[in-house]
Amino acid sequence: MTEPGRFVAAADLLKALANPHRVAIVDLLAAGPRRVHEITETLGLDQPLVSQHLRVLRDARLLGTERQGKEVVYSLADDHIAHIVGDAITHAGER
């Protein structure tokens, strides 16, 4: 990937994370895979809202999915995503 292409890809990744609910979802998934109803219950968000945010994260290829019967289990695509969000949360808390 060219140098400008890497910057564009990094900016796209950060755009996908640029929402407090999506940051919370990624932070939750850093602890392990979850089903949609587990995410909604833990974060206190409505299911349609969570599904919308999961779609944004999935479209950005930040999440992996696995179908288990009628349910879909979401997980982080890799540990880098957890580190990016964890570092951002830590940094924000230090300000």
Return the domain boundaries, the chain.
3-93
Q: Which residues of 38-75 are buried (b: 16+ CB within 10 A; e: fewer)?
A: bbbeebebeeeebeebbebbbebebbeeeeeeeeeebe
Provide the pLDDT for residue 1: 67
Return the CATH number of 3-93, one of 3.30.70.660, 3.40.50.620, 3.40.309.10, 1.10.10.10. 1.10.10.10
Residue 2 pLDDT grade (very low, low, confident, very high; cuts 50, 70, 90): confident
Q: Name the pTM for this structure.
A: 0.92
Q: What is the largest CA-CA distance in the chain?
A: 44
Provide the pLDDT for residue 32: 98
Distance CA(46)–CA(89), nearest Å, equals 23
Using CA atoms, how far residue 46 sits from 37, 43, 75, 84, in Å, is 9, 9, 19, 26
pLDDT tens digits, one per residue of 22-48: 999 999 999 999 999 999 999 999 999
